[in-house]
Amino acid sequence: MSTPKQVPQAYYDLLEQIQAIDFVLVELNLYLDTHPNDAESIQQFNQCSYESRKLKKQFEKQFGPLMHFGYSYSNYPWDWIDVPWPWQV
């Protein structure tokens, strides 16, 4: 019985970075809802957004799609159904 596919530690490290930057984006988003004129925070928000997309692209190049329904490109063959599923990560 062959052991199931294991993902390297880099998978989790990169995922944690994405999680952290997305958390900062949520915080800034909520802050900016009540402080629309705070230019500095808007600039930080845009920087973080750029960083988040960069990290996600990097992740997807290495480990396949991060999101489905068109939010991520697919490799060939269709690998969204590969393990680990999001809830298995």
Partner 1 sequence: MDNTNTKYYYPYISPFDPCKPIVIKSYSTPPHLYMGFQPPNLPQFSTAREALFRGTLWPALYDTYPPEKAREE
Please report, as ranges, the residues that interact with partner 1 according to CB under 8 A.
16-17, 19-21, 23-24, 27-28, 31, 34-35, 38, 40-41, 48
What is d(CA 83, CA 62) in angstroms, rounded to the nearest whole number?
Answer: 14
- Which is closer to partner 1, CB of 47 or CB of 74? 47
- Which is closer to partner 1, CB of 35 or CB of 68? 35
CA 70, 84, 7, 79 torsion-angle sign: negative
CB of 43 to partner 1, least distance (A): 12
What is d(CA 75, CA 22) in angstroms, rounded to the nearest whole number?
Answer: 24
